[in-house]
Protein backbone atom coordinates (compact mmCIF):
# COMPACT_ATOMS: atom_id res chain seq x y z
CA UNK A 1 0.00 0.00 0.00
CA UNK A 2 2.81 2.44 0.88
CA UNK A 3 4.79 1.57 -2.25
CA UNK A 4 1.65 2.03 -4.35
CA UNK A 5 1.08 5.44 -2.77
CA UNK A 6 4.71 6.39 -3.33
CA UNK A 7 4.59 5.40 -7.00
CA UNK A 8 1.33 7.32 -7.43
CA UNK A 9 3.02 10.47 -6.09
CA UNK A 10 5.35 10.38 -9.09
CA UNK A 11 2.43 10.16 -11.54
CA UNK A 12 -0.33 12.16 -9.83
CA UNK A 13 0.83 14.22 -6.85
CA UNK A 14 -2.61 15.06 -5.46
CA UNK A 15 -3.87 11.48 -5.69
CA UNK A 16 -0.61 10.23 -4.19
CA UNK A 17 -1.03 12.54 -1.20
CA UNK A 18 -4.50 11.14 -0.58
CA UNK A 19 -3.21 7.57 -0.70
CA UNK A 20 -0.38 8.41 1.71
CA UNK A 21 -2.98 9.53 4.24
CA UNK A 22 -4.56 6.04 4.14
CA UNK A 23 -1.52 3.76 4.40
CA UNK A 24 -1.47 0.99 7.04
CA UNK A 25 -0.33 1.92 10.54
CA UNK A 26 3.15 0.41 10.17
CA UNK A 27 3.91 2.87 7.36
CA UNK A 28 2.13 5.89 8.82
CA UNK A 29 5.21 7.59 10.30
CA UNK A 30 7.11 7.51 7.01
CA UNK A 31 4.00 8.60 5.09
CA UNK A 32 3.47 11.55 7.46
CA UNK A 33 7.10 12.57 7.06
CA UNK A 34 6.79 12.55 3.26
CA UNK A 35 3.50 14.45 3.36
CA UNK A 36 5.01 17.06 5.67
CA UNK A 37 7.93 17.52 3.30
CA UNK A 38 5.70 17.79 0.22
CA UNK A 39 3.36 20.29 1.85
CA UNK A 40 6.06 22.65 3.09
CA UNK A 41 8.56 22.40 0.22
CA UNK A 42 9.31 25.83 -1.15
CA UNK A 43 12.29 26.32 -3.42
CA UNK A 44 13.92 29.54 -4.51
CA UNK A 45 16.58 29.26 -7.18
CA UNK A 46 19.99 28.64 -5.67
CA UNK A 47 22.94 30.14 -7.46
CA UNK A 48 25.26 27.37 -8.56
CA UNK A 49 28.94 27.54 -7.59
CA UNK A 50 31.15 29.20 -10.19
CA UNK A 51 32.65 25.94 -11.45
CA UNK A 52 29.17 24.53 -12.19
CA UNK A 53 27.36 27.59 -13.58
CA UNK A 54 28.16 26.98 -17.24
CA UNK A 55 26.97 23.37 -17.02
CA UNK A 56 23.73 24.41 -15.28
CA UNK A 57 23.02 27.02 -17.96
CA UNK A 58 23.65 24.52 -20.76
CA UNK A 59 21.43 21.76 -19.41
CA UNK A 60 18.47 23.84 -18.16
CA UNK A 61 16.72 23.85 -21.57
CA UNK A 62 16.82 20.04 -21.58
CA UNK A 63 15.06 19.57 -18.23
CA UNK A 64 11.54 20.78 -19.02
CA UNK A 65 9.02 19.25 -18.95
CA UNK A 66 11.09 16.06 -18.69
CA UNK A 67 14.80 15.39 -18.91
CA UNK A 68 15.99 15.21 -22.54
CA UNK A 69 18.77 12.64 -22.46
CA UNK A 70 19.58 13.05 -26.14
CA UNK A 71 20.24 16.75 -25.59
CA UNK A 72 22.28 16.15 -22.45
CA UNK A 73 24.40 13.52 -24.19
CA UNK A 74 25.76 16.09 -26.64
CA UNK A 75 27.55 17.88 -23.78
CA UNK A 76 29.39 14.75 -22.66
CA UNK A 77 32.58 13.09 -23.79
CA UNK A 78 31.84 10.37 -26.31
CA UNK A 79 31.64 6.77 -25.13
CA UNK A 80 29.67 3.85 -26.62
CA UNK A 81 26.94 4.49 -24.04
CA UNK A 82 26.82 8.23 -24.74
CA UNK A 83 26.73 7.57 -28.50
CA UNK A 84 23.66 5.39 -28.01
CA UNK A 85 21.95 8.27 -26.22
CA UNK A 86 22.93 10.75 -28.92
CA UNK A 87 21.34 8.45 -31.48
CA UNK A 88 18.11 8.30 -29.49
CA UNK A 89 18.55 4.86 -27.94
CA UNK A 90 18.33 4.26 -24.18
CA UNK A 91 21.29 2.03 -23.18
CA UNK A 92 19.98 -1.22 -21.73
CA UNK A 93 23.32 -2.78 -20.74
CA UNK A 94 24.04 -3.02 -17.01
CA UNK A 95 27.53 -2.02 -15.89
CA UNK A 96 29.65 -2.09 -12.73
CA UNK A 97 30.51 1.60 -13.03
CA UNK A 98 31.64 3.42 -9.90
CA UNK A 99 33.00 6.74 -11.08
CA UNK A 100 32.83 10.45 -10.35
CA UNK A 101 33.00 11.20 -14.09
CA UNK A 102 29.76 12.91 -15.20
CA UNK A 103 28.52 13.11 -11.60
CA UNK A 104 28.73 16.87 -12.10
CA UNK A 105 25.78 16.49 -14.50
CA UNK A 106 23.71 15.02 -11.66
CA UNK A 107 24.74 17.91 -9.41
CA UNK A 108 23.91 20.46 -12.12
CA UNK A 109 20.42 18.98 -12.47
CA UNK A 110 19.92 19.49 -8.74
CA UNK A 111 20.71 23.18 -9.00
CA UNK A 112 18.73 23.63 -12.21
CA UNK A 113 15.48 21.89 -11.36
CA UNK A 114 14.92 21.35 -7.64
CA UNK A 115 11.66 23.34 -7.61
CA UNK A 116 9.73 20.07 -7.91
CA UNK A 117 11.33 17.34 -5.75
CA UNK A 118 9.12 14.60 -7.20
CA UNK A 119 9.99 15.44 -10.81
CA UNK A 120 13.60 15.88 -9.73
CA UNK A 121 13.81 12.34 -8.36
CA UNK A 122 12.51 10.99 -11.66
CA UNK A 123 15.04 13.07 -13.61
CA UNK A 124 17.96 12.01 -11.41
CA UNK A 125 17.00 8.33 -11.60
CA UNK A 126 16.54 8.41 -15.37
CA UNK A 127 19.79 10.32 -15.92
CA UNK A 128 21.83 8.05 -13.66
CA UNK A 129 20.55 4.85 -15.27
CA UNK A 130 21.24 6.29 -18.73
CA UNK A 131 24.72 7.67 -18.04
CA UNK A 132 26.10 4.97 -15.75
CA UNK A 133 23.91 1.86 -15.92
CA UNK A 134 25.03 0.58 -12.51
CA UNK A 135 23.32 0.05 -9.19
CA UNK A 136 26.21 1.72 -7.39
CA UNK A 137 25.93 4.94 -9.36
CA UNK A 138 22.15 4.97 -9.04
CA UNK A 139 22.61 4.72 -5.26
CA UNK A 140 25.25 7.48 -5.32
CA UNK A 141 23.06 9.77 -7.43
CA UNK A 142 20.01 9.26 -5.22
CA UNK A 143 22.08 9.81 -2.07
CA UNK A 144 23.54 13.02 -3.51
CA UNK A 145 20.06 14.26 -4.37
CA UNK A 146 18.58 13.41 -0.95
CA UNK A 147 21.55 15.09 0.73
CA UNK A 148 21.02 18.25 -1.34
CA UNK A 149 17.26 18.36 -0.68
CA UNK A 150 17.77 17.81 3.05
CA UNK A 151 20.20 20.71 3.29
CA UNK A 152 17.95 23.01 1.26
CA UNK A 153 14.92 22.03 3.35
CA UNK A 154 16.47 22.10 6.84
CA UNK A 155 19.34 24.55 6.38
CA UNK A 156 21.76 22.11 8.00
CA UNK A 157 23.03 18.59 7.40
CA UNK A 158 21.56 16.14 9.89
CA UNK A 159 23.19 12.72 9.50
CA UNK A 160 20.43 10.86 11.32
CA UNK A 161 17.73 12.39 9.11
CA UNK A 162 19.80 11.73 6.00
CA UNK A 163 20.42 8.06 6.77
CA UNK A 164 16.80 7.49 7.80
CA UNK A 165 15.69 8.96 4.49
CA UNK A 166 18.19 7.43 2.08
CA UNK A 167 19.26 3.97 3.31
CA UNK A 168 15.90 2.21 2.68
CA UNK A 169 15.89 3.66 -0.85
CA UNK A 170 19.43 2.78 -1.94
CA UNK A 171 20.08 -0.55 -0.21
CA UNK A 172 18.43 -2.46 -3.05
CA UNK A 173 20.65 -0.61 -5.54
CA UNK A 174 23.93 -1.33 -3.77
CA UNK A 175 23.74 -2.97 -0.36
CA UNK A 176 27.46 -2.65 0.37
CA UNK A 177 27.49 1.08 -0.38
CA UNK A 178 24.40 1.56 1.80
CA UNK A 179 26.11 -0.37 4.60
CA UNK A 180 29.27 1.77 4.38
CA UNK A 181 27.14 4.90 4.43
CA UNK A 182 25.15 3.78 7.47
CA UNK A 183 28.38 2.93 9.37
CA UNK A 184 29.31 6.63 9.35
CA UNK A 185 26.85 7.07 12.21
CA UNK A 186 29.24 5.10 14.43
CA UNK A 187 32.30 7.18 13.54
CA UNK A 188 33.77 10.21 15.26
CA UNK A 189 36.50 12.35 13.69
CA UNK A 190 37.70 15.90 13.15
CA UNK A 191 38.37 17.71 9.89
CA UNK A 192 42.11 17.15 10.41
CA UNK A 193 41.52 13.39 10.66
CA UNK A 194 40.04 13.14 7.16
CA UNK A 195 42.04 11.91 4.21
CA UNK A 196 41.29 13.59 0.90
CA UNK A 197 43.21 11.16 -1.28
CA UNK A 198 40.74 10.36 -4.03
CA UNK A 199 40.61 7.36 -6.36
CA UNK A 200 37.93 8.75 -8.68
CA UNK A 201 35.10 6.49 -7.50
CA UNK A 202 31.63 8.00 -7.21
CA UNK A 203 30.87 6.06 -4.03
CA UNK A 204 34.07 7.33 -2.42
CA UNK A 205 33.24 10.92 -3.36
CA UNK A 206 29.81 10.66 -1.75
CA UNK A 207 31.18 9.08 1.43
CA UNK A 208 33.84 11.77 1.81
CA UNK A 209 31.25 14.47 1.12
CA UNK A 210 29.03 13.15 3.91
CA UNK A 211 32.02 13.03 6.29
CA UNK A 212 32.74 16.70 5.53
CA UNK A 213 29.10 17.66 6.08
CA UNK A 214 29.08 15.82 9.41
CA UNK A 215 31.89 18.07 10.65
CA UNK A 216 30.50 21.28 9.10
CA UNK A 217 33.86 22.97 8.43
CA UNK A 218 34.19 26.59 7.37
CA UNK A 219 34.19 27.54 3.70
CA UNK A 220 37.86 28.47 3.99
CA UNK A 221 38.70 25.01 5.32
CA UNK A 222 36.84 23.42 2.41
CA UNK A 223 38.71 25.61 -0.08
CA UNK A 224 41.98 24.18 1.26
CA UNK A 225 41.03 20.58 0.39
CA UNK A 226 43.59 19.25 -2.10
CA UNK A 227 41.21 17.11 -4.15
CA UNK A 228 39.44 19.36 -6.66
CA UNK A 229 36.40 17.09 -7.01
CA UNK A 230 35.86 16.69 -3.27
CA UNK A 231 36.40 20.43 -2.77
CA UNK A 232 33.99 21.38 -5.55
CA UNK A 233 31.17 19.13 -4.38
CA UNK A 234 31.58 20.26 -0.76
CA UNK A 235 31.45 23.93 -1.81
CA UNK A 236 28.31 23.19 -3.83
CA UNK A 237 26.59 21.94 -0.68
CA UNK A 238 27.75 25.08 1.11
CA UNK A 239 25.88 27.06 -1.56
CA UNK A 240 22.71 25.12 -0.73
CA UNK A 241 23.12 25.87 2.99
CA UNK A 242 23.74 29.56 2.33
CA UNK A 243 20.32 29.85 0.69
CA UNK A 244 18.54 29.00 3.95
Q: Is 23 in the same domain as 64?
A: no
Q: Is 100 in the same domain as 149?
A: yes
59 or 117, greater pLDDT: 59
Q: Is 6 in the same domain as 103?
A: no
Q: What is the pLDDT of residue 43?
A: 56
213 assigned to some structural domain: yes
Report the mean per-residue pLDDT for the chain.
Answer: 87
Under 8 Å between Cβ of 98 and 136: yes
Give residue-wise pLDDT tens across range 202-237: 999 999 999 999 999 999 999 999 999 999 999 999
Q: What is the pLDDT of residue 28?
A: 75
45 assigned to some structural domain: no
Q: Which of 105, 102, 81, 80 is nearest to 91 (CA)?
A: 81
Which of 2-16, 54-68, 127-141 is the most confident on average? 127-141
Domain span holding position 168:
50-242
Q: What is the pLDDT of residue 23?
A: 73
Q: Tell me the CATH number at 227.
A: 1.10.4080.10
Cα gap 120→114, rounded to integer Å: 6
Give residue-wise pLDDT tens across range 147-166: 998 898 888 999 999 999 99
Q: How many domains does the chain have?
A: 2
pTM of the predicted model as reported, rounded to 2 decimal places:
0.83
Q: Is 24 in the same domain as 143?
A: no
Under 8 Å between Cβ of 114 and 65: no
Q: What is the pLDDT of residue 122?
A: 86
Amino acid sequence: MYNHALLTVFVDLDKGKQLLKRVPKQYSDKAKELLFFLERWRFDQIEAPDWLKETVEKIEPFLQPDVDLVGLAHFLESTPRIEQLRNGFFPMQDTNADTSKNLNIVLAILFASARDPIALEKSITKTSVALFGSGTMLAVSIALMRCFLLIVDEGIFNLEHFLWDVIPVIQDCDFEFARRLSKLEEESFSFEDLSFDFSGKGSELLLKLVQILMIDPSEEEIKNIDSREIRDFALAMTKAKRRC
